[in-house]
Amino acid sequence: MPHSPPQDRSEPAQAPELLDQALRLLAGVRLAVLTGAGLSTDSGIPDYRGPTSVPRTPMTYQQFVSDPVLRRRYWARNHVGWRHMHRAAPNAGHFAIAGMEQAGLLTGLITQNVDRLHSEAGSRQVIDLHGRFDQVICLGCRRIISRSALAQRLEALNPGFAAGPSDAGDVAPDADADVGATDSFVVADCHVCGGMLKPHFVYFGENVPKDRVDAAYAMVDQAGALLVAGTSLTVMSGLRFVRHAAKSGTPVVIINRGITRGDELAAVKIDAGVSESLTFLATRLRAASG
């Protein structure tokens, strides 16, 4: 059943003057949008570095492929986290961006998130920069399978494993959940070649595929402004597009709770609720476009 957008919210009280400045910069041009984990917090998915996040050290690609104990622990945690992540629904911010695309206001959307909520909200021109949590890839034969199909196999191999996290704060944006002992967890291999399965998103220590990066740069180059929402820009994979836009003279507007690494490059920085701010901007930009 398709998700419906939540009711519109009023102008965020925290930053009315900054929102007006942003509107003046964004009106009349097509936008590229860059989003991060802070956009999905209103969907019940904690971000990595925000006030509701759970401190943790993400697994690296080398750890995943070289250490069977860590790999088993990862899959056990992911098995539990998946139950929460795949039930999350898009929030007002996701629908605001999808609405701007439908109104012809965007060159496209670059998201650092793997949760697929933008697509569920109706966005179509989406570059999933870091991949997708709803897919799994075999590192042997490179076959891609759905995460939901793997969930069924893992459940059969590990009936009743863990009751799941006690609340949303136990799950990271990549579906990594806090669980107890994992020594007994059975990991599934590729059902075709027996190879190692890995979530089809970019781990720390991996590079974003070049064609994906090039397509993202092209979106920014075609835009009259870059709108950044819900990311601290801590990692270079997102920050590079802000630097590229600023170097090219393309105005950058950032919406994020707290500081970001791109603040000094932004024409306007709005420290306010991401979903509320996006809804406000989208409503007025669509009205201005006729």
Q: What is the pLDDT of residues 92-135, one digit of tens each?
A: 999 999 999 999 999 999 999 999 999 999 999 999 999 999 99
According to CATH, what is the number of the domain 1-40+89-130+208-290? 3.40.50.1220
Query: Are the C-beta atoms of 264 and 243 separated by less than 8 Å?
Result: no
Task: Give the model's pLDDT for residue 167.
Answer: 41
Non-local (6+) Cβ contacts of 237 within 8 A are 112, 129, 130, 202, 208
Query: Are the C-beta atoms of 233 and 262 separated by less than 8 Å?
Result: yes
Instruction: Tell me: pLDDT of 15 over 80.
Output: no
Nearest in space to 34 (alpha carbons), one of 270, 275, 219, 276:
219
Nearest in space to 43 (alpha carbons), one of 91, 111, 95, 98:
91
Task: Give the model's pLDDT for residue 56.
Answer: 59
Task: Give the model's pLDDT for residue 46.
Answer: 77
Q: How confident is the model at residue 2 (pLDDT cuts 50, 70, 90)?
A: very low
* More confident call, 85 vs 44: 44
Task: Give the model's pLDDT for residue 202.
Answer: 94
Task: Give the model's pLDDT for residue 288.
Answer: 92
214 vs 240: CA distance, rounded Å? 12
Mean pLDDT over 261-283 rounds to 96
Helices (H), the chain: 16-26, 61-66, 68-85, 92-102, 117-121, 147-157, 210-221, 236-247, 274-288
Active site residues: 130
Report the DSSP beta bridge partners of residue 35. 111, 229
Query: Are the C-beta atoms of 238 and 231 separated by less than 8 Å?
Result: yes
Task: Give the model's pLDDT for residue 254.
Answer: 98
Task: Give the model's pLDDT for residue 28.
Answer: 96
Task: Give the model's pLDDT for residue 166.
Answer: 43
Instruction: Tell me: pLDDT of 54 over 70.
Output: no
Annotated binding-site members: 112-115, 138, 141, 190, 193, 230-232, 256-258, 274
End-to-end CA distance of the chain: 31
82 vs 275: CA distance, rounded Å? 24
Query: Are the C-beta atoms of 14 and 273 separated by less than 8 Å?
Result: yes
**Summary mean pLDDT of the chain:** 88
Mean pLDDT over 148-153 rounds to 94
Q: How confident is the model at residue 85 (pLDDT cuts 50, 70, 90)?
A: confident
Q: What is the pLDDT of residues 211-247, one digit of tens each?
A: 999 999 999 999 999 999 999 999 999 999 999 999 9
DSSP state of 59: P
Task: Give the model's pLDDT for residue 237.
Answer: 93
Q: What is the pLDDT of residues 164-185, one digit of tens each?
A: 544 434 555 555 655 667 889 9
Q: Is 152 buried (19+), middle (13-18) or exposed (0-12) by CB count in 10 A?
A: exposed
Of 31-45, 75-89, 254-268, minimum mean pLDDT range: 75-89
| Residue 171: both structure tokens together | 């799950």
> In the chain, where does the domain assigned CATH 3.40.50.1220 lie?
1-40+89-130+208-290
Q: Is 1 helix (H, G, I), strand (E, B) or coil?
A: coil
Instruction: Tell me: pLDDT of 204 over 60.
Output: yes
Instruction: Tell me: pLDDT of 30 over 60.
Output: yes
Mean pLDDT over 45-50 rounds to 65
261 vs 263: CA distance, rounded Å? 6
| Residue 231: both structure tokens together | 């990311």
Side-chain-facing half-sphere of 136: CA atoms under 13 Å: 23
Annotated binding-site members for NAD(+): 112-115, 230-232, 256-258, 274
Annotated binding-site members for Zn(2+): 138, 141, 190, 193
